[in-house]
Amino acid sequence: MSNLEDYLKERVRLHDLMAKESVDEVIQWYDDCATLYDQNFNSAGFQFHLTTVEATLEFVKDKDAAILDLGAGTGTIGDLLKKEGYSNMDALDASQGMLDIASKKNLYKNTFRSLIGTSESIENLAEGSYDAMVSAGVFAHGAVYYESIPLLLKYLKKGGYLIFSVSLLSMQKSPRLTREQFTKLTRDWEKAGVCRVVSEKPTFHINKEPAFVFTIQNCTDGK
């Protein structure tokens, strides 16, 4: 069995863990499979990271902008952004195994290990400190949900962007990730002056599985 076959087989197990919303086991999967993930990501058919980077190029023109790679994994998006000239990036992920690999690539100034939930704060992050947060594949069933968006916005500067992808499969699996739920929550947040949705673009998650990339602009002072 090839490395890629091993990886795709492991992804089936990951989906089962995510379906159970077993957070600790999901994190352990990423720790255990970090090397396999890093070696096979680019050949596994993923596309969502490419559209996320395209949106970053569209909305974040300043190559010195402070960017947080949210759910950075082993640095796939960080590597693409560095090739586009971005140099002021931090990484956050729940898996130390993934961050250990990302750290060796010299893509990020700082790396932070943390879960993303709906708590009051994210440990070690300074509020109002980022021009953009970028995330691909992290908003998913058994991972991060739209309810976390207000928390994330706290760490953006006023006018900063949260750019993230969601697969259609995740939208269909969880009522917390449907388009209707996204529209309902963001409409309420827009009315409250918290943020505004500036872009919704179709893309693919893996191979021809549909997905969307959303761009939200923070309208508060981040505190």
Q: Residue ranges per domain, the chain?
A: 46-218
Query: Dihedral (C-alpha) 128, 131, 137, 138: value to the nearest 10 degrees?
Result: -10
Q: How far apart are CA 55 and CA 183, in angstroms?
A: 20
Residue 39, pLDDT above cutoff 60: yes
| CATH superfamily assigned to domain 46-218 | Vaccinia Virus protein VP39 (3.40.50.150)
Strands 195-204 and 210-218: antiparallel
Helix (H) and strand (E) counts for the chain? 9, 7
Helix (H, G, I), strand (E, B) or coil at 4: helix
Residue 15 has pLDDT above 80, yes or no: no
Q: Residue 17, exposed/middle/buried by CB under 10 A (0-12, 13-18, 19+)?
A: middle
Distance CA 156, CA 59 (A): 14
Token pair of 215 as six digits: 């761009």
Q: Which of 8-22, 23-37, 88-102, 209-223 has the highest mean pLDDT?
A: 88-102
The reported pLDDT for the residue numbered 222 is 52
With 50 as the cut, is the pLDDT of residue 19 above it?
Answer: yes
In a 13 Å sphere around the CA of 121, the CA atoms on its Cβ side amount to 7
Structure tokens at 106: 């010299």
Query: CA angle 113-117-123, nearest 5°?
Result: 40
Nearest to 72 by CA among 87, 101, 92: 92
pTM of the model: 0.91
pLDDT at 1 (0 to 100):
45
Q: Give the confidence band of 85 by pLDDT, cuts at 50, 70, 90.
A: very high
pLDDT, one tens digit per residue, over 149-203 is 999 999 999 999 999 999 999 999 899 999 999 999 999 999 999 999 999 999 8
Percent of the chain topping pLDDT 70: 98
Distance from C-alpha of 153 to C-alpha of 219, rounded to nearest angstrom: 9
Tens of pLDDT, residues 145-161:
999 999 999 999 999 99
